[in-house]
Amino acid sequence: MRNKIVAGNWKMNLDADAAKRLYLDLLNKSIDQSDGKMILIFPPNIYLQDFIERNNGSFEIGAQNFNAKSNGAYTGEVSASQLKSIGCSWVLVGHSERRILFKEDDQVLVNKIKTALKHGLNVIYCCGESLNEREQLQHKSKIQNQLALLKSFSLDEVQFISIAYEPIWAIGTGETASPEQASEMHDFIREELTSLFGLETADNTSILYGGSCSPRNAETLFKCDNIDGGLIGGAALDADSFSSIIEVLS
Ligand code: PEP
């Protein structure tokens, strides 16, 4: 069954005191996942273990980044098996900031997804077009190409992968895709997943919207047929905003 998901990507924000305060505020909100919603938090890696230990079951905790190698001489890196061993259950792969700023190409992303799945981590695979690609009417072909790397995975593996559609021009800009734009792309992603993996798998895959999603626009976006929740950046850094977004997902 397709999950309804709200995920908060904290990126490289918040020093220890502020991070702990936000996490405790969220825990105190007693967010209910019983109505079929999953709430995921992706804090900076240094806070993962503490947050997992403090978790009261309200959230699943994921990592924003890890290395595709299993272990070894990779100074400064963290592996999927290390994440799993502290109780992490999700990872982000393919975020535009990792693709662009850290030059992660398709092969790196395939390797990261492979190692994450091997160690029992669920994956949110992010895709999205730039403003220029949209203006050149290449937004669908861009997404099609980004989804094509999922062909490296079997049906058994794909069931642990969710998709986040994140137009790059909407990330952190305050400019959100309109419900029509987002709907068109989410419908397209569902169609692509259907041609890659068949109707049943496509239908069971959660597709999240990300890009300046806020309490102001979340409800309208989440009402669209193929939008199964959101990947939230800036608005996840405030407990009230994040919980308002969770509330409007039904
Ligand atoms: C993100 O980076 O995943 C994101 C959606 O950020 P924001 O909500 O700030 O646009």
Number of the ligand 1 atom closest to the C-alpha atom of 92:
3
**CA distances in angstroms from 100 to 40, 86, 130, 168, 206, listed in the order given:** 24, 29, 11, 10, 24
* Average pLDDT value for the chain: 96
**Cα of 193 vs its chain's centroid, Å:** 17
Find residue 2's DSSP bridge partners.
none
What is the CA(97)–ligand 1 centre distance, in A? Answer: 10
pLDDT score of 250: 86
The predicted model gives 9-31 an average pLDDT of 95
pLDDT digits (tens, 9 = 90+) for 87-139: 999 999 999 999 999 999 999 999 999 999 999 999 999 999 999 999 999 99
Q: Using alpha carbons only, what angle is made at residue 118 by residues 160 and 4, rounded to the nearest 5 degrees?
A: 15
- In three-state secondary structure terms, 42 is strand
pTM of the model: 0.97
What is the CA(213)–ligand 1 centre distance, in A? Answer: 7
Q: Is 5 exposed, middle or buried (0-12, 13-18, 19+ CB in 10 A)?
A: buried
| Domains, the chain | 4-248 (3.20.20.70)
Enumerate residues 6+ apart whose C-beta is below 8 A from 220: 179
Which are the catalytic amino acids? 95, 166
Q: Which of 212, 221, 237, 245 to mutate to test the pocket of ligand 1 (most atoms within 8 A of CB)?
A: 212
> Residue 34's pLDDT band (boundaries 50, 70, 90)?
low
> Residue 58's pLDDT band (boundaries 50, 70, 90)?
confident
Task: Say if residue 33's pLDDT is above 70.
Answer: no
Residues with C-beta less than 6 Å from any ligand 1 atom: 9, 166, 171-172, 210-213, 231-235
